[in-house]
Structure 1
Amino acid sequence: MSRYRGPRLRITRRLGDLPGLTRKSAKRSYPPGQHGQARRKRSEYAIRLEEKQKLRFNYGVSERQLVRYIKKARAQAGSTGTNLLKLLENRLDNVCFRLGFAPTIPGARQLVNHGHVTVNGRMVNIASYQCRAGDALAVRERKGSKRLATDNLEFPGLANVPPHLELDKNKLTAKVAGGCEREWVALEINELLVVEYYSRKV
């Protein structure tokens, strides 16, 4: 399944607040559709599926990509759920979003794909690039790139830059100091339910 390009508020009405997907808030608190207000008892499978969908839509990854991240997280030492969130938080598009270079993760993906960002002095246009500790990020030395990043920094998607990222607003540069801690993940999610969802599928 390809990346979602439909109405974003429709997703936030069903799944709740997704800070990476959009900054807008839905006027209605119930899911869309004819039966959106009907009270239904959700099964355990439905609850796990909803948590998985939150992760997918917030970070803008496809089902195939998410399965790959699950496999990588399992291969690493420690909690699979925490490892999964760290892998997603270390994506280049998400790092640009957390730094404030873009208002949302889809906006950050476009910023990266259009070649406005460099990593360690080299232009990288792959949104899924995994940032590592010590990587130096910067906005390219172009008038359009700098104006775009400066405008976005005035109204960032999230107010606080996490401590594992060091940002210099004047130079439009940043450094990845380490891995993201679980408490700094902006998305409200139970990652263990996502791992349980894939336990029988992967």
Structure 2
Amino acid sequence: MARYTGPKTKIDRIFGEPILGNGKYLGKNPNPPGQHGANRKRKQLGEYALQLKEKQKAKYTYGVLERQFRSTFDEASRRKGVTGDNLIQLLEARLDNTVYRLGIVSSRPAARQLVSHKHITVNGEVVNIPSFRLKAGDIIGLKPKSDDNSAVTSMIKGKNPKINWLDWNETEKKGTFIAYPERENVPENIKVQLIVELYSK
């Protein structure tokens, strides 16, 4: 299964944000990686560099490699509405991302692993494809054997109240994908217009 397996702190330092980790090392060394740190970088990035950096940030954030990201962008551009908003909505509708948003696990990589190891169900059926795209009304939960596994249930922390496009039932340990989110409700700091401009060249 294709995914990024390199050093997470290095990615956080490239973007100056906790993209893949909790960001605890950014306070110690916030400079970009490399022998000369911030000094080897130009003070001001060019237009193309800014667009490319934003695309890379989105890819690392959602754990998507280039081919799948491009395919998602192409679908977003075919849909009605604003392409950038469509792109974020499609990325947010991924099963691994939704498992993370519901608070079943604390990170997207952990959510991806949980899905891949067949712990997650959608509408009662086990789904082990992290990129599985959810639709409004889909119900996400743990399969019965996983629900009795303390190693799995101990990770559950519950949904952030600000994630209003999902509903979480603490008693049944099930979540509902209510609708695609509005762009302003998604907390990720991604300038989607720069990604659109990059792919429009």
Task: Give CA-to-partner distance per residue, 1:107-132, whole Å, 9 cap, x none.
Answer: 10000000000001100000000011
| CA–CA distance in structure 1, aligned partners of residues 120 and 96 of structure 2 | 10
Q: TM-score, normalised by structure 1?
A: 0.90
Q: 1:18 deviation in Å? A: 4.0
After superposition, residues 48-87 of structure 1 pair within 5 angstroms as 48-87=51-90
Q: Say if 2:25 is the partner of 1:32.
A: no
Q: Judging changes above 3 Å, is the alpha-carbon distance between structure 1 residues 159 and 133 closer, same or farther for their aligned structure 2 residues?
A: closer
Greater relative CO, 1 or 2 (CA 8 Å, sep 6+): 1
8 Å Cα contact 1:112-1:124 kept in structure 2: yes
- 1:106 paired with 2:109, answer yes
Partner-residue secondary structure (3-state), 1:131: coil
2:167 aligned partner? 166
Query: Aligned equivalents of 2:149 and 2:99: distance in 1?
Result: 13
Identity %: 39
Give, in whole Å, the separation in 2 of the partners of 1:83 and 1:148: 36
Q: In 2, distance between residues paired with 1:161 and 1:96?
A: 15
Change over 3 Å in CA distance of 1:119–1:96 after alignment to 2 = same
Preserved contact between residue 91 and residue 128 of structure 1 (Cα < 8 Å): yes
Q: 8 Å contact 1:139–1:146 — kept in the other structure?
A: no
TM-score by length of 2: 0.91
Give ranges in structure 1 of 5+ residues lacking alignment.
none
Cα displacement string for residues 37-93 of structure 1 (whole angstroms, at most 9, x for unaligned residues)? 215131111111110010000100010001101110010001000000000000000
Q: Which amino acid aligns with 2:15?
A: L
Q: 1:97 to 1:144 in 2, by over 3 A?
A: same
Structure 2 residue runs without a partner (length 5+): none
- Give 1:14's aligned residue: 14
Mapped pair 1:119 → 2:122: yes
Cα RMSD, aligned residues only:
1.8
Q: Indicate the SS of the match to 2:140.
A: strand
CA distance in 2, matches of 1:44, 1:105: 30
Aligned to 1:23: 22
> What stretches of structure 1 move > 4 A for 4+ residues in a row?
143-146
Work out whether residues 146 and 152 of structure 2, in 8 Å CA contact, stay in contact via their aligned partners in 1: no
The answer as to whether partners of 1:98 and 1:161 remain within 8 angstroms in 2 is: no
CA apart distance, 1:152: 1.8
Which residue of the partner structure matches residue 89 of structure 1?
92
